[in-house]
Structures are given as structure tokens and as C-alpha cells.
Amino acid sequence: MKIKEIMTRNVITVKKDDKIENVVKILLENNISGLPVVDEENFVIGIITEGDLIYRSKKLQIPSYFTILDSYIFLENPNIIKEQMRKMVGYKVEDVMTDVVIVANEDDSVEEVATIITNRKVNRLPIVKDDKLVGIVSRRDIIKAYAKE
């Protein structure tokens, strides 16, 4: 069975310039946990999820470091704190979204998509055709498809 047979075609999306408060409203009103972020031509440029929004409430983690001769030597990448701050104080979707998006092609099999979802530990996958968004599949959609077999 192809994923295009079970995907949701009327995908609710947001743009990178949308406000976070709008995303929260959309998620709650539609009882969903994530949204693809698309550009004007419907290319998937990110995804924003409840996890991204919850991130804003987490405790800031300062990278570990030690000092030698009045210099700081970081044990972790100090840019991590910059990324944390950006996500925590973000006002727009582009500040909070995950911009490395895993997608599947509409002609992929349900088994292929289920494997991606499981291996990559994601809850939903945007489905594309010619790199443009045409649908979305969640874990629940896959379970429903197996229930119908």
C-alpha cells in the first residue's frame, strides 16, 4: 500500500513569519501536535511541534567549561546556548521551528514510512511530490491503515 492512500491531504500549515500564539491556537483548535512550515510555493522548510513549544519552558543549560590562565575552555559547543536562547524567546515560527525536516514521497510504501517514523523517532511526516507538500502522515494514520487490513 502506498502512503498516498492513507495520508491526510488537507494539511494545515503555517508560514515562517507566523506568530507562535497563532500556532498554539491552531494546534489546540484542531487537536493536532505539529504543523509543517511551508514557503509561498508550498515547499516544506520546517516543522513546528508541541515539543518545540514546550522547549520554550525548559531550563537553560549552560555549556560546561573550565578556566586556564584566565581563558575559558568550553567542553561543549558554546553555540548551543545561542540556539537555546533563540528557541526560548522566539516570537515567530522561524525562531522555534525545527528546520531539518524528514519527509517522505507520496509513492513510498506504508512500511517505508513506518520505518522512517520509528527509526527517526518522529510522530508525523510531511509527504511530498516534486518536493512540494501534498499530505501528512502520523503514527495514528499508519495504525488505522493496519487496522483496516
Q: Is the pLDDT of residue 63 over 50?
A: yes
**How far apart (Å, rounded) are the C-alpha atoms in residues 34 and 13?**
9
pLDDT, averaged across the chain: 85
Under CATH, to which class is 3-148 assigned? alpha beta
CB atoms within 10 A of CB 70: 5
Higher pLDDT, 87 or 31: 31
Higher pLDDT, 72 or 146: 146
Interval 112-148: pLDDT, tens: 999 999 999 999 999 999 999 999 999 999 998 888 7
**How far apart (Å, rounded) are the C-alpha atoms in residues 86 and 43?**
24
Q: How far is CA 77 from CA 39, 58, 61, 96, in A?
A: 31, 19, 12, 20
Interval 74-109: pLDDT, tens: 556 656 655 655 555 567 999 889 999 999 999 999
**CB-based burial label for 95 (10 Å; 0-12, 13-18, 19+):** middle
Higher pLDDT, 137 or 72: 137
This prediction has a pTM of 0.77
Q: Is the pLDDT of residue 36 over 80?
A: yes
**All 3 cell numbers of residue 1?**
500500500
- The listed range with the strongest mean pLDDT (53-57, 63-67, 83-87, 90-94) is 90-94
Q: What ranges do the domains of the chain cover? A: 3-148
Pick the closest to residue 105 from 133, 141, 146, 143 (CA basis): 133
